[in-house]
Structure 1
Amino acid sequence: MRLAITILLLIFTSSLFAQQKQTVSSPDGRVTVSVSIDKGQASYSVNYGGSSMLEASPLGLTTNEGDFTSDMSFVGASTGEASQTYSLETIKQSEVNYEANILKYMMANSEGKQLSVLFQVSNHDIAFRYELPTWDKTVVTVVESEATGFKFPSQTTAFLSYMMGPMAGFARTSPSYESGYQTDVPMDQTNAREGYVFPGLFRVGDEGWVLVSETGVSSQYCASHLSAYHDGLYTVEYPNPEQNNGFGSSGAQIGLPGVTPWRTITVGESLKPIVETTIPYDVVEPLYEASMGYQMGRSTWSWIIWQDNSMNYEDQVKYIDLAAAMDFEYILIDAWWDKNIGYERMEKLIDYADSKGVGVFLWYNSNGAANDAFMTPLNKMNSTIARKKEMKWLKEAGVKGLKVDFFGGDKQETMRLYEDILSDANEYGLMIVFHGATLPRGWEKMYPNFVGSEAVLASEMLVFVQDVREKEAFYASLHPFMRNAVASMEFGGVVLNDFLNKGNKEGQERLTTDAFQLATSVLFQNPVQMFALTPNNLEAVPAFELDFMRALPTTWDATVFVDGYPGKYSVLARKSKGKWYVAGVNAESSEKKLKLEVPMLAGQMVKLYGDDEDGKTYLKEVKVARNGMITITMQSKGGFVLTQ
């Protein structure tokens, strides 16, 4: 991670206001947040461009030191401004300028104990958190629950992904943020028992869109999610107590004075602010400095198509050679390597990869007691002593990064494990990718060696589940507006085999086109991407497709929404080192003809990777009109990419 000098200016006025109702607006005046107390209940509302996006929604916490959800009274308020400029290569936009107005709303409960809510409002984004002072001689408290809610106007429809139940699924490893979606449904139909994961996307009729999430979750708190819809609103829910085998509190223990994570709300008339938001990173800071300059890039990965049987020395040599032939920076060697290859031969394999200019990522099981995941290496990442011993060997062997899998849920106990792995790994110069894991919440900026998480119904489910293969395009059209809008997403995609297995002749048939697969390499943002190419692709796949992958960047200077509707189609533009890529996918059952406005390519001859009516992918040159308009036809379950 490359982080430039950060400037943060907070100018608070200390004067107290006489009225309970306080408002704060964005710098452009279009977003207004109002905060008030009515009959002892604190609430906030959000207005955008004259339209209500959130009606009066509850605020408050319940702690072991007192209730802050009722009998609240207004104490005072102060205002200020936040200004921050930062550079971060691992997110969707490398240079960010954040400007926001601030309202700090102070209140007290019936016992006279104070609680503040800090709102930061930028032109399309709202971030707020609770700030807890020291109460008398109390220096620690347990936050047991939140009253924080989101009350949308009645015409709102929801786009949500289910929260998985605890200790279920494969080897009792859920929740792992790998569920399907409800899309564009009335809110009263969103009644999943466990609620829904962040982020949640909402369409407020014809008024606009709202994306709700959280950021800034570290070892100091638990992660949370959205409840099912009840009593007219969604609320922030803490982890199910049964997660992590029932071990650890479902709330959060924090020292005083202390703060909660940020709740974030992105609003807009269109989906453009949703796709382009940087709010998960705008309000957090690095928790430590990078120990070295980490190199992002692309990786081969045998397990996704060749599966467990490929975890042997000979097959890994083939995938190292594939990475070298594709000019990829890395190879990921997955589970069972310690049993099937062994530590001594792994050192030789790492040396061979290094001789080919390829770095190595190794897979590890996070497990100790969280679930029944049995794949090895096991019990190497779950304790400080074992972890540092292993990481010392990893550094000496020349390993560049780890993929750590199978975490236990969202409790604070598990958040500590994520942070411990990341901070220890940084000391040994190791990058970290998490799988079977929670949503990253600002981690790209908080932890400089963090380079992505799965936390999505990803490519492995294409291999295992027919329904997921049938819905591949549908899910892909959702991710830019939801999961990938708030955090890096290591999907493990770009499958160019016709069948998702080593034989590539029958079995799990791929139902999307090659152009679709190429498009997802641009649509899905993650600074280190583990692609699903196989050695046979070097001969079976058209050369122009391989050349596209050889030149593909994984870090981006800019991301621009072009067109789309979640669940139907998606078109984005991304820029890397002055070169633009425009990519789209079509999830609908028939071809889609689009007139796209791409001013960044106006008047230029560009390369078009697309599909014909038979689903065959082609490459040709086309010219974008001087006014930046171009007409593109996407086949069903197909896609396209335009490049300079």
Structure 2
Amino acid sequence: MKKLIFCCLTFISLFTYAQESDVKSPDGLVKVSLVLEDGKLFYSVNYDQKTMLDKSPLGLETNAGSFTEQLSFVKTKTGIVDQSYTQDRIKKSDIHYKANTLTYTIKNEADQEISVHFQVSNNDIAFRYELPMWKETKGILVEKEITGYKFPSSSTAFLSNMMRPMTGFARTAPSYESGYVTDEPIDKTSARLGYVFPGLFKIGNDGWVLLSETGVGSNYTASHLSGVQDGVYTVSYPQMEQNNGFGSPGAQLGLPNQTPWRTITLGNSLSPIVETTIPYDVVEPLYEASQDYKYGKGTWSWILWQDNSMNYDDQVKFIDLAAEMDFEYILIDAWWDDRIGYDRMEELIKYANSKNVDVFLWYNSNGTANDAFQTPLNKMNTSIARKKEMKWLQEAGVKGLKVDFFGGDKQETMRLYEDILVEANDFGLMVIFHGATLPRGWERMYPNFVGSEAVLASEMLVFVQDIREKEAFYATLHPFIRNTVASMEFGGILLNKYLNKGNQSGQERLTTDIFQLATGVLFQNPVQMFGLTPNNLEDVPDFELDFLRKLPTTWDETIHIDGYPGKYSVLARRKGDHWYIAGVNAEADAKTLKLKLPMVVGEKFNLYNDDKSKKPFIKTVEVGKEGVFEVTIQSRGGFVLTNH
């Protein structure tokens, strides 16, 4: 009898243990704990023995079965991921990714199984749901996700709200072009439509957490964060009103299958947030590049000269500007088909090529989901139209597209992004998206993807006084939030004193020239269209133009040096043997920093900075033997140190 009791107790002990499972990062600092409690699945996250996420819910609702309650434990499985890869369009070129894995399998009352698969690396967590075949069920609709994030109550948030569908210009929202709340107590972050990814959180005095997602293509809907409810943010799917009400807000899956990855980056400081590569570590290329794509810088008349510049003669001026600046590209924006025409565009492309400048052309993405009227229209929304247009683009010698006005996160729209990318690659074309969603691992998934807007970009500086006043504030946020998870096609480096063609009055630029140069380093995108104008060749100091001629757009290494979101930011980026260390200051007063630069001890640099009157200057400096360099950044100013 005693033996029987012992066996029963052993069975109960093992059963209880099996429902509570942990997985740690290789360095042991990150710990994810899963527990099945009263038929519901939860997880929690610790870093360096400090709570980053309290007990938070996991689960899905599908039209073929629910996985939110009355769940039973099935099994767990552990493993290791260890891989290296190279990537030519992100913040770092050579990446070694190592993670410990835990796959936790549960079943519902109908004996349908589902697994939650976690990969935990140093400072990063990626997890997704994995769905096997359920008896004869081959296709499902994932209707809802209850994945949650419960932060300690002392946490504060840095979040950008989701825009209301079918609002804004020509009913093109949402397009990830909202402002931010910063250091907001989490109990006050209750926006009705929630917040876009990524979201940054400060965990009291214990550290930082960045939430995002990756691996979203035609396979799923893109998601966002809800407002906080009972202390928990949850993963939310698109509003039904998006895309003019067309398409499901849920995700259609064939079984077996998996959801995209939810990602969590965390640490005691902001360094892991800025330096993370997790959006790319857990995805794979979906196809091979049809050719070697060339990245670089370009000119762009529309940003300051606007629609009236869409004529042959003005585009020649910007081609000549690109050639004079040794830039690789010109972007020719909306209305080119109407105001220049296809035949003359072929002539213009030949002229650009004679100057060693290649061409990107603008397109409207659709004719059905919103009221955007700029042309070319109805060229990118169907496969037949796309292939016909892309054949002409290839024959004319165009190298890339800028496709605009998407306004939605439904699976239907994610499929459109992917279709454009796949077919563009067939014709040797790179793609930039504008008026668009956040890229989610796309730099690695799609070899001809070269950036998205998905930010309050340079055009809003032209149109909105409030954005001009907050330019420095937003610039100090992007390296920690938007730009740390994906390329960001900002369209910046505006050196006109007034943001218009006349450059005499009107929309005054409130940041310094050196601030503008610094954002060329802080903002990362493999193809950068800059807002220079032909007059800048005469009214801007030569040393600023020489800086831009040399500035890379792809990087081998990125290091967080200093900063606080919304106040100031300092990054170091390396291309080959050349370092660029840049910072900007959004605070009301000048800020003096003692920067730790151990990677360049004793080296000489060119320092680009503003004097007290905010006049730009350049001088030669040396980083001391202790690897510490002191610099003063003026309010709404910047600096760059470079040995290039």
Identify the TM-score tier after normalising by the shorter chain. Answer: over 0.9
Letter in 2 for 1:37: L
- Cα separation, 1, equivalents of 2:137 and 2:182: 45
User: Which residue number in structure 2 is paired with residue 93 of structure 1?
Assistant: 92
- Cα separation, 2, equivalents of 1:251 and 1:481: 30
SS of the residue aligned with 1:480? coil
User: Which residue number in structure 2 is paired with residue 276 of structure 1?
Assistant: 275
- Cα separation, 1, equivalents of 2:231 and 2:302: 45
User: Which residue number in structure 2 is paired with residue 120 of structure 1?
Assistant: 119
SS of the residue aligned with 1:241? coil
Q: Deviations over 1:338-386 (max 9, x none)?
A: 0000000000000000000000000000012110000000000000000
User: Which residue number in structure 2 is paired with residue 603 of structure 1?
Assistant: 602
1:551/1:464 CA distance change after superposition, 3 Å:
same
Q: Deviations over 1:398-425 (max 9, x none)?
A: 0000000000300000000000000000
- Cα separation, 2, equivalents of 1:172 and 1:614: 43
User: Which residue number in structure 2 is paired with residue 107 of structure 1?
Assistant: 106
User: Which residue number in structure 1 is paired with residue 9 of structure 2?
Assistant: none
Say whether residues 1:314 and 2:313 are aligned partners: yes
- Cα separation, 2, equivalents of 1:303 and 1:442: 29
User: Shift of residue 614 of structure 1?
Assistant: 0.8
User: Which residue number in structure 2 is paired with residue 66 of structure 1?
Assistant: 65
SS of the residue aligned with 2:407? coil
User: Which residue number in structure 1 is paired with residue 240 of structure 2?
Assistant: 241
Q: Would the aligned equivalents of 2:208 and 2:268 in 1 still touch at CA under 8 Å?
A: yes
User: Which residue number in structure 1 is paired with residue 537 of structure 2?
Assistant: 538
Letter in 1 for 2:213: E
Q: Deviations over 1:209-232 (max 9, x none)?
A: 000000000101000000001111
Q: Deviations over 1:239-265 (max 9, x none)?
A: 000000000000000000010000000
User: Which residue number in structure 1 is paired with residue 36 of structure 2?
Assistant: 37
Q: Deviations over 1:174-203 (max 9, x none)?
A: 000000000001001111111000000000
SS of the residue aligned with 2:74? strand
- Cα separation, 2, equivalents of 1:563 and 1:430: 38
User: Shift of residue 16 of structure 1?
Assistant: 10
User: Which residue number in structure 1 is paired with residue 420 of structure 2?
Assistant: 421
1:148-187, aligned counterparts within 5 Å? Answer: 148-187=147-186
User: Which residue number in structure 2 is paired with residue 129 of structure 1?
Assistant: 128
SS of the residue aligned with 2:92? coil
SS of the residue aligned with 1:280? helix
User: Which residue number in structure 2 is paired with residue 4 of structure 1?
Assistant: none
Structure 1 gaps, min length 5:
1-14
Say whether residues 1:581 and 2:580 are aligned partners: yes
Structure 2 gaps, min length 5:
1-13
User: Which residue number in structure 1 is paired with residue 337 of structure 2?
Assistant: 338
Q: Would the aligned equivalents of 1:18 and 1:76 in 2 still touch at CA under 8 Å?
A: no
Q: Would the aligned equivalents of 1:32 and 1:48 in 2 still touch at CA under 8 Å?
A: yes
- Cα separation, 1, equivalents of 2:379 and 2:414: 17
SS of the residue aligned with 2:495? coil
SS of the residue aligned with 1:164? coil
- Cα separation, 1, equivalents of 2:323 and 2:581: 27
Letter in 2 for 1:306: W
Letter in 2 for 1:365: N
Q: Would the aligned equivalents of 1:105 and 1:116 in 2 still touch at CA under 8 Å?
A: yes
Say whether residues 1:641 and 2:634 are aligned partners: no
Q: Would the aligned equivalents of 2:213 and 2:263 in 1 still touch at CA under 8 Å?
A: yes
Q: Would the aligned equivalents of 1:17 and 1:77 in 2 still touch at CA under 8 Å?
A: no
User: Which residue number in structure 1 is paired with residue 521 of structure 2?
Assistant: 522
Q: Name which one, 1 or 2, has greater alpha-carbon Rg.
A: 2
User: Shift of residue 278 of structure 1?
Assistant: 0.1
User: Shift of residue 627 of structure 1?
Assistant: 1.2
- Cα separation, 1, equivalents of 2:407 and 2:527: 24
User: Shift of residue 138 of structure 1?
Assistant: 0.4
1:71/1:512 CA distance change after superposition, 3 Å:
same
User: Shift of residue 17 of structure 1?
Assistant: 9.2
Letter in 1 for 2:121: S
1:523/1:159 CA distance change after superposition, 3 Å:
same
- Cα separation, 1, equivalents of 2:348 and 2:332: 10
Say whether residues 1:628 and 2:627 are aligned partners: yes
- Cα separation, 2, equivalents of 1:171 and 1:387: 23
Output the TM-score relative to the length of structure 2: 0.97
SS of the residue aligned with 2:166? coil
User: Which residue number in structure 2 is paired with residue 360 of structure 1?
Assistant: 359
Q: Would the aligned equivalents of 1:226 and 1:237 in 2 still touch at CA under 8 Å?
A: yes
- Cα separation, 2, equivalents of 1:288 and 1:300: 30
- Cα separation, 1, equivalents of 2:502 and 2:232: 50
1:217-236, aligned counterparts within 5 Å? Answer: 217-236=216-235
- Cα separation, 2, equivalents of 1:353 and 1:16: 71
Output the TM-score relative to the length of structure 1: 0.97
Q: Deviations over 1:521-570 (max 9, x none)?
A: 00000000000000000000000000000000000000000000000000
Deviates more, 1:125-134 or 1:597-606: 597-606
- Cα separation, 1, equivalents of 2:82 and 2:141: 32
Q: Deviations over 1:415-448 (max 9, x none)?
A: 0000000000000000000000000000000000
- Cα separation, 1, equivalents of 2:72 and 2:375: 55
Q: Would the aligned equivalents of 1:16 and 1:78 in 2 still touch at CA under 8 Å?
A: no
SS of the residue aligned with 1:339? helix
Aligned residue pairs total: 630
- Cα separation, 1, equivalents of 2:292 and 2:29: 40
User: Which residue number in structure 2 is paired with residue 389 of structure 1?
Assistant: 388
Letter in 1 for 2:478: H
Q: Would the aligned equivalents of 2:405 and 2:434 in 1 still touch at CA under 8 Å?
A: yes
SS of the residue aligned with 1:309? helix
- Cα separation, 1, equivalents of 2:512 and 2:313: 31
- Cα separation, 2, equivalents of 1:388 and 1:84: 37
User: Which residue number in structure 1 is paired with residue 466 of structure 2?
Assistant: 467
SS of the residue aligned with 2:532? coil
Identical-pair percentage: 70
User: Shift of residue 83 of structure 1?
Assistant: 1.2
Q: Deviations over 1:453-512 (max 9, x none)?
A: 000000000000000000000000000000001000000000000000000000000000
- Cα separation, 1, equivalents of 2:619 and 2:242: 52
User: Which residue number in structure 1 is paired with residue 4 of structure 2?
Assistant: none
Say whether residues 1:564 and 2:563 are aligned partners: yes
SS of the residue aligned with 1:253? strand
**CA RMSD in angstroms, aligned pairs only:** 0.9
- Cα separation, 1, equivalents of 2:16 and 2:574: 46
- Cα separation, 2, equivalents of 1:269 and 1:491: 29
Letter in 1 for 2:105: M
- Cα separation, 2, equivalents of 1:349 and 1:455: 30
Q: Would the aligned equivalents of 1:128 and 1:262 in 2 still touch at CA under 8 Å?
A: yes
SS of the residue aligned with 1:425? helix
Runs of 4+ in structure 1 deviating by more than 3 angstroms, as ranges, are 15-18
Q: Would the aligned equivalents of 2:407 and 2:437 in 1 still touch at CA under 8 Å?
A: no
Letter in 2 for 1:87: T
User: Shift of residue 577 of structure 1?
Assistant: 1.5
User: Which residue number in structure 2 is paired with residue 374 of structure 1?
Assistant: 373
